[in-house]
Amino acid sequence: MDNLKIEKLGAEHKISIGISSCLLGHKVRFDSGHKQNSYINNTLSEYFDFVPFCPEVDIGLGIPREAIRLVLIGEKVHCVGSKTADLDVTQQLKNSAKQQFQWQKNLSGYILKKDSPSCGMERVRLYKGNMPDRIGVGIYAQTLMDKFPNLPVEEEGRLGDAVLRENFIQRVFIYARWQKMVAQPFSMQALTQFHAQHKYIYMSHNQNLAKELGRWLADAHKLESDEVLEHYLSAMMVMLKTRASRKNHVNTLQHLQGYLKNFISADDKAELVEIITQYSDGLLPLIVPITLLRHHFRRFPNEYIMDSYYMKPHPKELMLLNSL
């Protein structure tokens, strides 16, 4: 990990995100090049404090160097040289990943380099003889995800998809808020408030799992604190990995609309119904009905609703909801 970034791990003004070094423009690839990503560098860098790391450089492979690839040998996946078959760096990459756990545990997310035999999150070429199948996972990436199964992880290539991008960034912000909460002494009251603030986000992802988690939390006071936190985090992150659908967003918007039925005029109700319908039909982005709801809740305040992160999503400059 770059030394300049180590001291920033505790920075409070930005969320710490691990990232493959080449995506920031560092010339660490096998061909002495980089894969600088403009969206990451020009937009996400305004909100995230990136912690770059290249496992291939960390284990001592030079720049430039022979390219490595994933190969199935017997029943096990190995990472070997593309020209030198006896150059096997599988265990070194695993060891490198394990040696980073101390700073990785402070991260709120990770962006990996797609297709990389060390860092690829999915669909990496795995060779069986001379024929590759896109079924592999990078050695470093696999070890990272096994150790931190709830950590939001994504590849830079998938960030070009608006839904996947919003899903990842939303998970990062929620995970960072979770880390902040659990850094304090355990409190069921704090967890219940956390749940209330995120309930409508959960509903937009999976209505049934959201209800399940709410019912489970109501009885969770009977359990030990460690068990409560472990179960809640795992259930929450599984739910959030499910892409929020337009149908679920519509149901969530209509649920929020119900809080206004005794306050707004008939004309305002009709307008809100029309706006939600137009979003449902794909004619408007999600930000439009949310903005209109926020307008009405400012006129007729409801502290519970306005405290919801569904109504105050991550920084507006990210422009995420304009694409959904």
Full DSSP string of 166-188: HHHHHHHHHHHHHHHHHTSPP-H
Tell me the C-alpha to C-alpha distance, in Å, between residue 184 and each of 178, 179, 191, 226: 10, 9, 11, 13
Question: In the prediction, which pLDDT does 315 show?
Answer: 72
Peptide bond before 64: cis, by omega within 30 degrees of 0?
yes
Q: Which two tokens stand for residue 219?
A: 């009885």
Is there a contact between 84 and 66 (Cβ–Cβ < 8 Å)? yes
Region 79-86 average pLDDT = 92
In whole angstroms, give the CA distance from residue 55 to residue 94: 9
What is the pLDDT at residue 254?
97
Is the model's pLDDT at 4 over the cut of 50? no
For residue 203, which of 164, 149, 257, 256 has the smallest C-alpha distance? 256
81 C-beta neighbours (distance < 10 Å), count: 17
Instruction: Quote the pLDDT of residue 3.
Output: 32
145-200 pLDDT tens trace: 999 999 999 999 999 998 899 999 999 999 999 999 999 999 999 999 999 999 99
pLDDT tens digit string along 35-72? 999 999 998 998 899 999 999 999 999 999 999 999 99
What is residue 130's predicted lDDT score, i.e. its pLDDT? Answer: 85
Is the pLDDT assigned to residue 83 strictly greater than 60? yes
> Cα–Cα distance between 126 and 124 in angstroms, integer?
6
Q: Can you give the pLDDT at residue 131?
A: 87
DSSP class per residue in 294-306 = HHHHHHS--HHHH
In Å, how far are 57, 69, 314 from 133, measured between CA atoms? Answer: 26, 12, 38
* Position 237 pLDDT exceeds 50: yes
| Encoded amino acid at 205, one letter | H
Q: Residue 280 pLDDT more than 70?
A: yes
Range 300-311 average pLDDT: 92
pLDDT surpasses 60 at 6? no
